[in-house]
Amino acid sequence: MMENNTKLLLTITAVTEGLTGAALIVVPEIVISLLLNVTFAEPAGVIVAKLAGAMLLSLAFVCWLYRSASRGAVGIIAGMLFYNSAAIVLLFYAWSDGFGGIALWPVLLVHIGLAFWCTRQVFFSTTTK
């Protein structure tokens, strides 16, 4: 059961982060506007957003490759736990600083859910260790 749970977690993570990463590379202005409700035209900021998109695609690729691994997946999931926790903190920080687009709270809730799921898999699963 936990092995299927690990596969599902890594598959969902790969798809969501992959789509977000691709969107950041192709249309960073739209993604940032939806997330933070700001216009985004600074050339350096666009490059950084595209770089973040490439990073998300890298995470998606690794999650996709390890989704069927019976061993070793715990390291990937622990890394995703760190990423999701950092995303939660940064998104709360953005909200507390007055930023917030239509996608902020749904994205925040997704990261909270994924962080909880990662925590369960890392600390309470016997098949991923």
Contact 122, 78 (CB under 8 A): yes
The residue type at 78? A
For the segment 57-88, what is each residue's pLDDT rounded down to a tens digit? Answer: 999 999 999 888 766 788 899 999 999 999 99
For the segment 1-59, what is each residue's pLDDT rounded down to a tens digit? Answer: 456 788 999 999 999 999 999 999 999 999 999 999 988 778 888 999 999 999 999 99
SS3 69: coil
What lies within 8 Å, CB to CB, of 62 at 6+ separation is 76
Q: Is residue 67 part of a domain?
A: yes
Q: Is residue 52 part of a domain?
A: yes
Domain that holds residue 63: 2-124
Q: Is residue 75 part of a domain?
A: yes
Residue 65 half-sphere exposure toward CB, CA atoms < 13 A: 9
Contact 2, 73 (CB under 8 A): no
Alpha-carbon distance 77 to 116, whole Å?
11
Q: Is residue 129 part of a domain?
A: no
Residue 67 is inside which H or E element, if any? none
Q: Is residue 82 part of a domain?
A: yes
Alpha-carbon distance 31 to 107, whole Å?
11
Count of structural domains, the chain: 1
Q: Is residue 87 part of a domain?
A: yes
User: pTM higher than 0.75, yes or no?
Assistant: yes
Q: Is residue 86 part of a domain?
A: yes
Q: What are the residue ranges of helices labelled H in 67-97?
A: 73-96
